């Protein structure tokens, strides 16, 4: 056990970050905030739990049941037994749990659409938020695939063109930044189950990709996501015309950026922070 | 729905914070970091989920089963049913959940003791961490009592005298700061189930209180906690002599500080930020 850890320790898909790693995380936060301000995005922080019915209306339980983690209270009828003897086990069986109205978020931007449910968007709206996200993955891979991780998103809600412009600007901005940092990345098209299930016609009709990823060493460190009017429809967020709003987001997996920077700068936190700061000075 | 919220919205014990509130949260983070640096504390970030067995060994399921929230995956045998029809409900019943090895943290410092399990502490060790914490409360009260909230802690692990000195310094430091801000608070003794259960003899022998709270308008905005060698014993963290380490923490409920500052400065984020900054310039 390192008692004054400055480093990173990952076990069972969960990361412990020491002071050096946190300085890099601070540098990443500053960079994402800078980018958000360039987009005119309002910074918001949303509840760390998502209502089950809010996820149900965006087909979450259809598409991602395997990733989901519910926040479940313990069953009251078990309290006296627990108080007498403790748990005495490394796990809680379902019979010890009560009903759950909340899930842990698996992406940061769901809460943005949820928050704006029922709203009318008269001009393009840009919102940025960072959230701790959770995915019940079957395998882990150091900082590259965690149960609990941090996601920063910069979202546009508006007309289709505004959303596509937002994504195009970030495609360039993030690509330039990674190049400046000397990090080799490729932009790759990726699938997204929100849309893939809509069948071949929808896929053929897609003139623009729904998801592109910034891939570094086979790891997607960021993505550009065009949701068309899916969240607008499901969450009843409307344009001034009454039509469902279009949405799109740029998303960063923050611990993956941390991994990428530790790799690029050989674990030198000062050099990583200087590199990040050079991108917005 | 306020689409470009700068304010605070609380519903069902969950808070949404807009940009003004987040500026105050940033100011609080800077203040707590300043205080942590005065204490020589190393900044760390711990996993956002706590192992069930790590909580069991500190009597969590004896003392706090009612507050607990498990992170439970969905039962695999239900996936195809969910994929076919979605959930169609506002809650997941226990039968839809799988076994859980993790709980959401209800306090930030548990992970510090957990991380140092098995370690030997030769000189006083100071660690600071901030965590999103969760409590399955039966009633909510705006920012003052939330299901999900932020806790910042500055912990000392060492000999009893080092821990008591740490707490005494923060008793003075935090009290002075609140007075400088023009916020009326009282320091009140409080109970702590970790120790109250140890019976009358232990209580009589307690020459120092185990818990004191900074109370503002009946709300505890911070606490000073002396755990004696409880976590040292349970997590097998030892002094150089081989004896269990003593621990103590100062803990801040960050959203409660936000509430207190919004109240003190009449919702003026600039004034609140200036007040906070004046404390460490």
How close A88 comes to chain B (CA, Å)?
Answer: 7
Contacts of B21 in chain A (CB under 8 A): 45
List the single best residue of B18, B60, B65, B239 to mutate versus A (max A Cβ within 10 A).
B65
Token output for B243 = 């004896």
Supply the pLDDT for residue B82: 83
For the stretch B29-82, pLDDT in tens is 999 999 999 999 999 999 999 999 999 999 999 888 999 999 999 999 988 888
Minimal CA–CA distance to A19: which of A33, A3, A31? A3
Cβ separation A72–B74 shorter than 8 A? no
Q: Match 């412009």 to its residue by tokens.
A: A165
| Residues A103, B97: Cα–Cα separation, whole Å | 12
Query: CA–CA separation, B107 vs B104, rounded Å?
Result: 9
In A, which residues are within 8 Å of B121 by CB distance? 3
Q: What is the mean pLDDT of chain A?
A: 91
| pTM strictly above 0.90 | yes
Contacts of A113 (CB under 8 A, 6+ apart): A58, A157, A231, A234, A235, A237, A247
For the stretch A220-269, pLDDT in tens is 999 999 999 999 999 999 999 999 999 999 999 999 999 999 999 999 99
Instruction: Kindly identify which residue of chain A lies nearest to residue B10, measuring between CA atoms.
Output: A47
Q: What is the mean pLDDT of residues A63-74?
A: 94
Q: Is residue B4 predicted with pLDDT exceeding 80?
A: no
How many angstroms away from the CA of A264 is the closest CA of chain B?
A: 22
Q: What is the pLDDT of residue B201?
A: 41
Query: Would the CB atoms of A94 and B99 count as touching at under 8 Å?
Result: yes
Question: Taking Cα atoms as reference points, which of B62, B71, B114, B57 lies closest to residue A92?
Answer: B71
Residues of B in contact with A143 (CB under 8 A): none
Residue-level pLDDT at B88: 85
d(CA A49, CA B270) in angstroms, rounded, equals 29
State the residue for tokens 């000195």.
B165
How many whole angstroms separate alpha carbon A216 and alpha carbon A239? 37
Each residue's pLDDT tens digit, B193-211: 555 444 444 444 455 668 9
Nearest of A266, B193, B257 to residue A275 by alpha carbon: A266
CB contact under 8 Å between A125 and B3, yes or no, is yes
pLDDT of res. B257: 98
Quickly state the pLDDT bin for A180 (edges 50, 70, 90). Answer: very high
C-alpha to C-alpha distance for A146 and A142, rounded to whole angstroms: 7
Q: Among A197-201, B132-136, B240-244, whose mean pLDDT is lowest? A: A197-201
Q: Kindly determine whether residue A82 and residue B74, on different chains, have CB atoms separated by under 8 Å.
A: no
% of chain B residues with pLDDT over 90: 83
What number is the average pLDDT over the span A74-83?
88
To 10 degrees, the CA torsion angle through B47, B50, B53, B59?
Answer: 130
Q: What is the pLDDT, as a whole number, of residue B85?
A: 82
Pairing verdict, β A42-43 and A125-134? parallel
Residue B3 has pLDDT above 70, yes or no: no
| pLDDT at site B231 | 96
Residue-level pLDDT at B87 = 86
Which residues of B are less than 8 Å from A79 in CB distance?
Answer: 65-66
- Write the residue in B76, B99, B125 that is nearest to A92 by C-beta: B99
In the prediction, which pLDDT does A85 show? 81
- Chain A residue with minimum CA distance to B15: A47
Its sign, for the CA torsion A244, B92, A15, A144, is negative
pLDDT tens column, B76-129? 998 888 888 888 889 999 999 999 999 999 999 999 999 999 999 999 999 999
Which residue, among A50, A54, A103, A59, has the nearest Cα to A195 in the 3D structure?
A59
pLDDT level of residue A1 (50, 70, 90 thresholds):
very low
Give the tens place of pLDDT for each residue, A42-65.
Answer: 999 999 999 999 999 999 998 889
SS3 B22: helix
B82 to A65: CB separation less than 8 angstroms, yes or no: yes
pLDDT, tens digit (0-9, with 9 covering 90-100), for A184-203: 999 999 876 555 444 444 44
Q: What is the mean pLDDT of residues B133-148?
A: 94
Q: Residue B280: which H helix or E strand, with range? A: none
pLDDT bucket at A82, cuts 50 / 70 / 90: confident
> Tokens 């004191």 label which residue?
B212
Rounded distance, CA B86 to CA A102, Å? 15
If 0-12 CB within 10 Å is exposed, 13-18 middle and 19+ buried, where does residue B131 land?
buried
User: pLDDT at residue A2 above 60?
Assistant: no
Residue carrying the six token digits 């809010």: A54
Q: Which residues in chain B have Cβ-Cβ distances shorter than 8 Å to A18?
A: 42, 44
């Amino acid at each position: 056990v390192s008692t004054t850890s400055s480093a990173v320790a990952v076990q069972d898909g969960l990361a412990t970050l020491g002071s050096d790693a946190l300085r890099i995380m601070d540098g990443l936060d500053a960079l994402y905030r800078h980018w958000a301000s360039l987009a005119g995005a309002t910074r918001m922080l949303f509840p760390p739990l998502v209502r089950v019915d809010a996820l149900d209306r965006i087909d979450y339980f259809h598409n991602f049941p395997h990733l989901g983690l519910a926040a479940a209270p313990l069953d009251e009828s078990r309290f006296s037994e627990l108080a007498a003897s403790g748990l005495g086990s490394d796990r809680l069986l379902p019979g010890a749990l009560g009903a759950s109205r909340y899930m842990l978020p698996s992406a940061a931007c769901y809460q943005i659409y949820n928050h704006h449910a029922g709203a009318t968007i008269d001009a393009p709206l840009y919102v940025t938020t960072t959230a701790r996200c959770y995915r019940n993955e079957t395998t882990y891979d150091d900082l590259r695939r965690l149960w609990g991780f941090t996601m920063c998103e910069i979202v546009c809600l508006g007309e289709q063109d505004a959303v596509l412009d937002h994504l195009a600007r970030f495609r360039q901005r993030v690509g330039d930044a990674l190049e400046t940092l000397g990090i080799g990345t490729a932009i790759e098209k990726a699938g997204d189950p929100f849309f893939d299930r809509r069948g071949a016609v929808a896929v053929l009709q897609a003139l623009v990709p729904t998801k592109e990823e910034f891939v570094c060493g086979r790891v997607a460190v960021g993505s550009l996501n065009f949701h068309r009017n899916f969240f607008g429809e499901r969450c009843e967020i409307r344009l001034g015309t009454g039509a469902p709003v279009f949405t799109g987001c740029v998303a960063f997996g923050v611990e993956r950026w941390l991994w990428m920077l530790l790799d690029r700068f050989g674990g030198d936190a000062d050099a990583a922070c200087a590199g990040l700061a050079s991108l917005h000075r």
